[in-house]
Amino acid sequence: MRRPSSSSTLFTLAVGLVLAPVALAQTPGPSPAFQATDTNGDGRIDRAEYHNRLMDAFFLLDQDKDGYLTAQELPHVAAKAFRAADSDSDLKLSAIEYMNERFKEFSAADKNRDGILSHVEVEVYDGFGRR
């Protein structure tokens, strides 16, 4: 079984701590976050929907709106996880670097490898996938 990388895991954990966590695993149906991401309402999250959500997140996290995320803008992300995402080692994350890191999580959560996330896959990943 494919498991998320340790850096990806740390990155997700750290970012998730910043952001009002929701008990996804206890939600009987798709969570509000899932529904918000599933913009076409088909009950699944495809890569385009995930990309859109991440781009919105990137923009909102980028406090000075310079187009990059620094460690200061991600204060709860572990240094190791930040360095792992910072592929060009310029001490800041471009949108592409941020996306690349976050899409590792998409792939890790997509257990049946169909390129689409069900709410169950999301809940399993958030609840158990990072153990």
Q: According to the binding rule CB under 8 A, does residue 86 interact with another protein?
A: no
Q: According to the binding rule CB under 8 A, does residue 16 interact with another protein?
A: yes
Angle ∠(42,46,49) on CA atoms, nearest 5: 90
Q: According to the binding rule CB under 8 A, does residue 39 interact with another protein?
A: yes
Closest to another protein by CB, 82 vs 102, is 102
Q: According to the binding rule CB under 8 A, does residue 82 interact with another protein?
A: no
Distance in Å, CB of 105 to another protein, minimum: 6
Q: According to the binding rule CB under 8 A, does residue 32 interact with another protein?
A: yes
Rounded CA-CA distance 111/123 in Å is 12
What's phi and psi for 28, nearest 5 deg?
Answer: -65, -35
* Contact pattern for another protein over residues 42 through 81, marking x by CB under 8 A: ---xx-xx--xxxxxxxxxxxx-x-x--------------
Which of 97-105's residues contact partners 24+ apart within 8 Å by CB, and which partners? Answer: 98/54, 98/58, 98/69, 99/51, 99/54, 99/55, 99/58, 101/7, 101/8, 101/11, 102/11, 102/12, 102/50, 102/54, 103/47, 103/50, 103/54, 104/4, 104/5, 104/8, 105/4, 105/8, 105/12
Distance in Å, CB of 122 to another protein, minimum: 5
Distance in Å, CB of 121 to another protein, minimum: 9
- Residues of this chain that interact with another protein (CB under 8 A) are 12, 15-22, 24, 31-37, 39-40, 45-46, 48-49, 52-63, 65, 67, 95, 102, 105-106, 109, 117, 122, 125-126
